Amino acid sequence: MILALIIALPFMGALLPLLAERGGRTLCAASAGVAPLIGLILLLGQRGTVFAGQTLTASYSWLPEIGINLSLRLDGLGFLFALLILGIGLLVILYARYYLSEQEPMGRFFAFLLLFMGSMLGVVLAENLLLMMLFWELTSLSSFLLIGFWGSRSDARKGARMALTVTGGGGLALLAGVLLLGHIAGSFEVLAAGELIRAHALYPLVLILILLGVFTKSAQFPFHFWLPHAMAAPTPVSAYLHSATMVKAGVFLLARLYPALAGTEWFFYLVSLSGLVTLLLGAGMALFQHDLKGLLAYSTISHLGLITLLFGLDSPLSNVAAVFHIINHATFKASLFMAAGIIDHETGSPDMRLINGMWKYLPHTAVLAIVASLAMAGVPLLNGFLSKEMFFGETLSQNLLGSFNWLVPAVATLAGVFSVAYSLRFIHD
């Protein structure tokens, strides 16, 4: 009951900001924060069970004649992502209260945001893959509404259509892969059927279809191009989509299905090589962006590539490093997008060539942005350093390319150099 309530709260709460909009901006934002706050309290109430290594499950009858139930699951991975979705969501609601102007339809904005939040919670807490697919498609639809919120702008309309087209196409491939998985495993709860799935003749096809869904959602090469165009969204949306939601749905699904799909050369080559190319490409392109949000968008692509590469490496602690970097990336990237939004809001321009010297006028924002940038660069004593150190260690432990094993740590090091460079450029410019 608790898991279903956590998912349902944002959907039910989406009506509150629409009703409270006439009461003023503060009341509207406060009403939007009620559902995620209650959801966060309920989630934290289950931390003892999760931290003890137990899994909380719930199942409701849906289509019993064909053996399909509404099955929910809260384990460590689901708890982490639900915590990020609700916690950062609350901060984004607070931020949006001051970011949006009085002329903006704030009630509609918060309603869309809560629909998106509920959809993401459904993705991370669903155990039945068909149920997960329902919420997966809802994230694409609700993100379309958020990215295109400023519908009068052509770039917002274009960015929303592009995001929906790419992620929706990937969703169709993912649906096909999920149906085949259900056929192979005999049910849509597949985590315990890894050996059966990997031994099946359809395994390569299933893997490719599911990875198409994962890669389109998490902006992996060659599907990375939609993410920078999504920057036309209001900055609170960008901060939320790039740190805790949307693009993280792809890497979540990769982590969730890891026990069922990983352990083969097909998996490690497809996942690691795609992650390696995305890591380097995103880092290189971020270095040459002049727009604040553009730089952060390409850096997000690069960090998603890093996480994907870690899931692809067949090394002892690569999965641990991947999950750890998901946490770190969520914290510093949300901070950086919010700082970029403050600068854009106060100066009227996101172009770094026009707005340097902000330390003098925005000292508090500057301090927070510099700390977050240094975490993104991987400077010692900050959280980004720890996960990047683990990342470099795991690239040295892998054994994917035979005599060309040196290529993976070499590319990782080059991408690391680029990440320091674009982080310092963000600070300097």
Short-list 214, 180, 197, CA closest to 261: 197
Q: Give the pLDDT score at 367.
A: 92
Q: Give the pLDDT score at 139.
A: 93
Give the least confident one: 75-79, 125-129, 158-162, 347-351: 347-351
- 2 or 244: which carries more pLDDT confidence? 2
Torsion angle of alpha carbons 115, 323, 228, 352, nearest 10°? 110
Residue 363: cis peptide before it, omega within 30 degrees of 0 = no
How far is the C-alpha of 130 from the C-alpha of 381, rounded, in Å? 43
Which helix or strand (DSSP H or E) is residue 61 part of?
strand 56-63
Inform me whether the pLDDT recorded for 65 exceeds 80.
Answer: no
Q: Per-residue pLDDT averaged across 195-204, rounded?
A: 88
Q: Per-residue pLDDT averaged across 295-302, rounded?
A: 92
Q: Give the pLDDT score at 66.
A: 66
pTM, full prediction: 0.92
Q: Give the pLDDT score at 169.
A: 92
How far is the C-alpha of 159 from the C-alpha of 165, rounded, in Å? 10
- 60 or 161: which carries more pLDDT confidence? 161
Which helix or strand (DSSP H or E) is residue 72 part of?
strand 68-74
**8 A C-beta contact, residue 178 and residue 130:** yes
How far is the C-alpha of 207 from the C-alpha of 229, rounded, in Å? 28
Scanning 244-361, the segments in alpha helix (DSSP H) are 247-256, 258-261, 265-286, 292-312, 318-347
DSSP at 189:
-
Q: Give the pLDDT score at 67.
A: 61
Inform me whether the pLDDT recorded for 92 exceeds 70.
Answer: yes
**8 A C-beta contact, residue 277 and residue 312:** no
Measured over the CA atoms of residue 368, residue 370, residue 374 and residue 377, the dihedral's sign is positive
How far is the C-alpha of 366 from the C-alpha of 279, rounded, in Å? 27
Q: Per-residue pLDDT averaged across 147-166, rounded?
A: 89
Measured over the CA atoms of residue 12, residue 249, residue 94 and residue 349, the dihedral's sign is negative
Q: Give the pLDDT score at 64.
A: 72
Tell me the two tokens of residue 103: 């002329």
Q: Give the pLDDT score at 68.
A: 72
Give the least confident one: 161-165, 175-179, 195-199, 325-329: 195-199
Inform me whether the pLDDT recorded for 314 exceeds 80.
Answer: no
Inform me whether the pLDDT recorded for 162 exceeds 90.
Answer: yes
Short-list 181, 244, 245, 183, CA closest to 211: 181
Short-list 230, 244, 241, 236, CA closest to 147: 230
- 102 or 10: which carries more pLDDT confidence? 10
Residue with tokens 């629909």: 115
- Name 49's Cβ contacts closer than 8 Å, sequence gap at least 6: 56, 74
How far is the C-alpha of 341 from the C-alpha of 100, rounded, in Å? 11
**8 A C-beta contact, residue 182 and residue 130:** yes
